[in-house]
Amino acid sequence: MSNQFSAPVLQRADGTVEELIRIPIGTSGTYAERDLQDHLFNHPSLLPVEEIDTRFMGLIPICTELRLRAGFMDILYATPDGQLVCVETKLWRNPEARREVVGQILDYASELSTWSIENLQNAVFNRTGRRFIDIVADGRVLDEANFLDSISRSLRDGRFLLLICGDGIREGTEAISRFLTKFSGNAFTFGLVELAVFESTSGDRLYQPRVLGKTRIIPWEDKQTAEDDTAAIVPPKESRDNTERQMDADRWLAFWQELGEALTFSDANHVTFKPEKRFRAAANWAGKSGYMLLYFDRSANTIGIGISLDAGTGREIFDRLHDEKEAFEDQIEQELIWKIRPNGRSLIGTAIPYLSPWNSDERTIAQEWFARTLVAFDAVFRPRLEELEVEFGSND
């Protein structure tokens, strides 16, 4: 057991003072591993999340023992912002047990990142008998569509907080970091939390958590995804420092700026193209229901352009456009992708096999294709989009 916790002192209202005694978790008849799991589930404030990653604050207990192919996850939490937190509770008896539980929680994270929101909802319902959204919304003001949209992105991008919480953890963060390198393609945050339990002579207990280490794998801004409409671009496996990331951002910006200079629209009221420092760029029309999206999708081995529409007015617009599908495809002179995602957003788009923006020949071909296709989308879709936004009142 770790000796690094100082013994807390309890001063009672009658003035008596008592030094509390630490209870060894796992000792028969005192405090078992399951007790640790139950206390963390019922009292999520025991987990010092604010010291690890403030984006995961406000833990909402969802369920214990969530079933996955890789095993049963001890505790699953969500946050009001639509992030997921996975916790494994473990007694730390030897280095092998520590490495095993680290590998276990990473297996859970890898599997979760392949789930859809429907997979998660079904798994939670099978475990609890309650709808996932009902558990989260219990007594809270919640925008259901936005929350589920955020959960979907978290699943897709692997944006999880992974916590291992136990008693007497000795494994150093350097060793943990080395172990985690093979999972460097994920966007999760990893933390080690030690929880000490102290008891008074009258049986009262005090729980004292402490963060032993945390490891950020890939910052969210570096996990490149095409919003809600395409799969994630797979980032490089090797770690990159700030200078390398800035170089990548500058290269992307230069690519899109070159494209912007080559655009020639037929209508003065054309979309506004916005170069970005990443794998995607947007073009906005006057309304608020969506935008045109230009992207590179290395995981699907394509580049593409799509009209991304929101789940509100955008869905009504999508349905109306879909009624006119044949006319639009005749004007574009190709079949288009018409897709409604589980989160309610919709996409109308087209894609071609992947072209590298860093190969000079392919770069030129990609820019010419993006320019030609964006101009066509602007001429064919934008006037109708603006008409329908007026009709449905999305500019109000």
pLDDT in tens, 233-290: 233 333 344 554 556 788 999 999 999 999 999 899 999 999 998 899 999 997 788 9
DSSP state of 298: T
Say if residue 180's pLDDT is above 60.
no
CA distances from residue 329 to 26, 42, 334, 338, 388 in whole angstroms, order as listed: 66, 55, 5, 11, 18
**Which one is predicted more confidently, 264 or 219?**
264
Q: Tokens 């991304």 map to which residue?
A: 308
Chain-centroid distance of CA 381 in Å reads: 31
Average pLDDT over residues 35-51: 91
Question: Three-class SS of residue 17?
Answer: strand
Angle subtended at Cα 154 by Cα 317 and Cα 99, rounded to the nearest 5 degrees: 165
CA distances from residue 238 to 63, 192, 235, 245, 346 in whole angstroms, order as listed: 35, 23, 9, 12, 34
Say if residue 109's pLDDT is above 90.
no
**Which one is predicted more confidently, 77 or 218?**
77
Q: Residues in the chain, how many?
A: 396
Residue 250: what pLDDT? Answer: 87
pLDDT in tens, 57-108: 999 999 999 998 878 999 999 999 899 999 998 766 555 455 567 778 877 8
CA distances from residue 67 to 84, 128, 218, 228 in whole angstroms, order as listed: 15, 11, 26, 27
Residue 341: what pLDDT? Answer: 83
Residue 48: what pLDDT? Answer: 93
Mean pLDDT is highest, among 178-182, 260-264, 329-333, for: 260-264
Query: Exposed, middle or buried by CB within 10 Å (0-12, 13-18, 19+), for 281?
Result: buried
Residue 66: what pLDDT? Answer: 95
Written as six digits, the tokens of 108 are 């859970």
How many C-beta neighbours within 10 Å does residue 83 have? 22
Q: Output the pTM of the full model.
A: 0.53
Average pLDDT over residues 341-369: 89
Chain-centroid distance of CA 351 in Å reads: 25
Phi, psi of 195 (to 5 degrees): -120, 120
Residue 367: what pLDDT? Answer: 94
Residue 37 CA to residue 100 CA, distance in Å, equals 18
What average pLDDT does the chain have? Answer: 81
Residue type at 87 in one-letter notation: V
Can you list the domains of the chain with their CATH numbers?
Answer: 9-220 (no CATH), 242-392 (3.30.1460)
**Which one is predicted more confidently, 393 or 266?**
266
Please say whether the beta carbons of 47 and 87 come within 8 A.
yes
**Which one is predicted more confidently, 14 or 121?**
121
Give the per-residue SS3 of 326-353. Answer: HHHHHHHCCCCEEEECCCCCEEEEEEEE
Q: What is the DSSP string of 183-194?
A: GTTS--EEEEEE
Q: Which residue, among 281, 161, 150, 159, has the nearest Cα to 228 in the 3D structure? A: 150
Residue 217: what pLDDT? Answer: 44
**Which one is predicted more confidently, 219 or 391?**
391
> Residue 371 — pLDDT band, cuts 50, 70, 90?
very high
